[in-house]
Structure 1
Amino acid sequence: MARGDWAANMAFWRFVNNPQVTIDKLIEGWSTQTRTAVSGRHVLAIQDTSEVKFQTQAGRRRGLGKVGKGNARGVLLHAMMAVDADSGVCLGLTGGNVWTRKGKVKIPHERRALADKESARWVTAAEQGRDVLADARMITVVNDREGDFFAHWALTPAENVHLLSRAMHDHALVDGDTLYQAVERSRFCDNAVIDLPQRMDRRGRQAHLSMRFGTVVLKRPQRPGVTDLAEGIKLSFVEVVELHPPRGAEPIRWLLLTTHPVATVKDAWQIVSWYRQRWIIEQLFRSLKSQGLRIEDSQIESAEGLIKLVAVATRAACIVIQLVQARNSGEELPAEFVFTAEEIETLRAINKTMKGRTELQKNHHRPNTLAWAAWIIAKLGGWTGYASHRPPGPITFHTGMARFQILANGPTNV
């Protein structure tokens, strides 16, 4: 990995080049602790796709296919994260996929079956999530705009599984209208001010939003591959619009669709609140790239090795998000939601060596909690522990985790 010490880098290099380490096993390992953490909760299963670009040259493509616009090469990462709907606490990963494109597909998109389209990832990740989250009280799968297509609405919802997505298409409705027409006929009925987190393309700010909501029934499209699905699907819509944005700011306009019933203004704002939790998966992708591991700087030569790198790094980035949240207090979670029993034993041993001379230099968190583990990992990452110093951030936790893995697993088995 790009961050961490030399021993951690060398151990990882050997790991990704081990033919016995497969991408399927790595992704299966993403959710080992998540299954336990979600029990009895309403879980937001948040999914999205990110392009991970690696430097290539005309004679050195590293086996990578095209991503994005132009001639960029890399891999695609699709991940789903479990987040507590009430507290916003990250409970871990539930599944996903990492792949590189093999070349152009000659059959037109509209003539292909769902299984032969990249968009199938939204449905298959939701199926993975449904299995991992079996003990959850309720599941709400949350997508951004790319996840808005009829087959997803038809196949994903179940008895305790709902779907929430930002609309991308002006769907035809069974009554002859379109989605946008139905929304435009609705009146704005409430207003609220929300905080928008900082993103790569926008500064953090407040937005004054107007809201309207209603119900529609999507009509099944007339194209191959969906003829065996339901003829119509009833959904609620909630639209929030920033009618008077600050000068120079792009106005917020979210049209949200969901299988959740929306009967009141309170219900509608709850849908908006759940959708806003999507920011956490954007944090995951930033942690992989510019604000943590910087995996796009990797010099691994093969596409297979780079795919494994992204899979391992995704799990590491998720753990770092959980450690940062634990550092910020909130809900007290057990360390076993992130670490194995053997790793917790290693944490106990390391903690004994870190007792400072003063009370301020001791780990005061309750033993075996995630906050207790975060304190230890932060110290391994170079944090001083003094309250007067800046609290540990993602880079400190990434460095600490790299060193912890060497201590927990040895330099040849990372």
Structure 2
Amino acid sequence: MSKSALFRTHCVQTQKRLEGHSLVFSLQDTSELNFDSHKKTEGLGSISKAYHKHKMGLMLHASLMVTQEGLPLGLSSLKCWSRVSREETPQEKQRRLYQSTMKEKESIKWIETLYETAALIPKDTCLITLGDREADIFELFRVASSLKTFFIIRNRKDRKFIDEKGKKTTVQTALSKTPILKTIALTLPKNQQRVARTAYVDMRSISGWLPIRNNLVYGPTNKDASRHIHEKVHVSAISVKEQPPPEGVAPVEWVLLNNLTATDAFEAEEQVNWYRLRWKIEEFFKTLKSGCCVEQCRLNTATKLTKMITLKSIIAFKLMYTRDQ
């Protein structure tokens, strides 16, 4: 979605609100907008994880800027698109993604959003990108570091890891051999999967290098892929593990990858608390859907819906900003 005049104006105002803050956070996330009951709307795409029966709607990826205190400052990026409905097996999907270049993958939304956000950041302001497991992408780590910005991303699956002494292992193995830094109380808000509760978690921290997982991350047709094959990114990894959880409750188990330093318990706990700000983007999507009723918009084309989604996204931010000011 190219930037409309309305959203460009909003970004200018977001940039003004960022001024004077030494540290700000970009909360990136994606949500599905369900228009499956809108049978006459043209240009919708699949929002279903099923491979043969597709629910129809639009995908929305947003970056909400917030302060350390959680005050929303505006949106820095907004992308809305129709996902192609493909009739393929899980194996066929995996093969297609494996052979695609980064620019051909939907994952490029994280990198493009980072570039757009970084362009708005004032000179003396530090930017930290927060993302869930979907954002665990080597290219995002590489670009964030090259832009001299920071990230805290929840690890999706065990990665290859090279410790500070040059020993090759995996992130999970290295963390399991590290002593506990501190046990902290973590307040978890209510969501669709859990009730609000307090979890007591053990923290561990390591630092080292993440090497690129394989030479097809950039796609076999990318002529520049060879220069990336041996690249690696320096990171810290913080383990947050609940022991023991309440009976019948899934334990909290996070591994947070970041390019900050976490040499002691204070820094590790601070970064864990920063990551918890990510829940603000979930509030944004809830406000957009429940408060602004964006999925009830009865427009007959995806193009018209996209314009309405942009307007209501700005309104959703304004509601949060007014509440939290």
- SS of 1:80's equivalent in the other structure is strand
Partner residue in 2 for 1:152: 140
Does residue 75 of structure 2 align to residue 93 of structure 1? yes
The amino acid across from 2:64 in the alignment is M
Partner residue in 2 for 1:35: 15
Post-superposition Cα deviations, 1:68-93, rounded to whole Å, max 9, x if no partner, equal 234211111111111112x2211111
RMSD over aligned Cα atoms: 2.1
Does residue 188 of structure 2 align to residue 196 of structure 1? yes
**More strand, by proportion:** 2
Equivalences for 1:5-404 in 2 at 5 Å? 24-41=4-21, 42-56=23-37, 60=40, 62-70=42-50, 71-85=54-68, 87-104=69-86, 108-158=96-146, 160-174=148-162, 175-224=167-216, 225=218, 226-229=225-228, 231-290=231-290, 292-326=291-325
Cα distance in 2 between the residues matched to 1:312 and 1:222: 41
How much does 1:183 deviate? 1.6
TM-score (norm: length of structure 1): 0.69
Post-superposition Cα deviations, 1:82-140, rounded to whole Å, max 9, x if no partner, equal 1112x221111111311112443988112211111100010110100001113452111
The amino acid across from 1:148 in the alignment is D
- SS of 2:119's equivalent in the other structure is helix
- SS of 1:250's equivalent in the other structure is coil
How much does 1:160 deviate? 4.3
- SS of 1:37's equivalent in the other structure is helix
The amino acid across from 2:76 in the alignment is T
Cα distance in 1 between the residues matched to 2:147 and 2:30: 26
Post-superposition Cα deviations, 1:311-361, rounded to whole Å, max 9, x if no partner, equal 2111110111001102xxxxxxxxxxxxxxxxxxxxxxxxxxxxxxxxxxx
Cα distance in 2 between the residues matched to 1:149 and 1:160: 17
The answer to whether the 8 A contact 2:171-2:237 is kept is no
Cα distance in 1 between the residues matched to 2:172 and 2:191: 28
Q: Which has the larger radius of gyration?
A: 1
How many pairs align? 303
Cα distance in 1 between the residues matched to 2:282 and 2:299: 25
The amino acid across from 2:214 in the alignment is Q
How much does 1:26 deviate? 4.1
- SS of 1:173's equivalent in the other structure is strand
Further displaced range: 96-105 or 310-319: 96-105
Cα distance in 2 between the residues matched to 1:108 and 1:140: 32
Cα distance in 2 between the residues matched to 1:126 and 1:136: 17
Further displaced range: 301-310 or 272-281: 301-310
How much does 1:187 deviate? 2.2
The amino acid across from 1:78 in the alignment is H
The answer to whether the 8 A contact 1:218-1:233 is kept is yes
Task: Structure 2: give runs of 5+ residues left out of the alignment.
Answer: 219-224
The amino acid across from 1:91 in the alignment is L
The answer to whether the 8 A contact 1:38-1:136 is kept is no
Identity of aligned residues (%): 26
Post-superposition Cα deviations, 1:186-207, rounded to whole Å, max 9, x if no partner, equal 2222111121112232221111
Cα distance in 2 between the residues matched to 1:61 and 1:166: 36
Task: Structure 1: give runs of 5+ residues left out of the alignment.
Answer: 1-20, 327-414
Cα distance in 2 between the residues matched to 1:119 and 1:69: 16
Post-superposition Cα deviations, 1:225-284, rounded to whole Å, max 9, x if no partner, equal 153336211100111111111223221111100000111110000110100001110000
Post-superposition Cα deviations, 1:390-414, rounded to whole Å, max 9, x if no partner, equal xxxxxxxxxxxxxxxxxxxxxxxxx
Deviation beyond 4 Å, 4+ runs, structure 1: none
Partner residue in 2 for 1:344: none
Cα distance in 2 between the residues matched to 1:266 and 1:99: 41
The answer to whether the 8 A contact 1:110-1:223 is kept is no
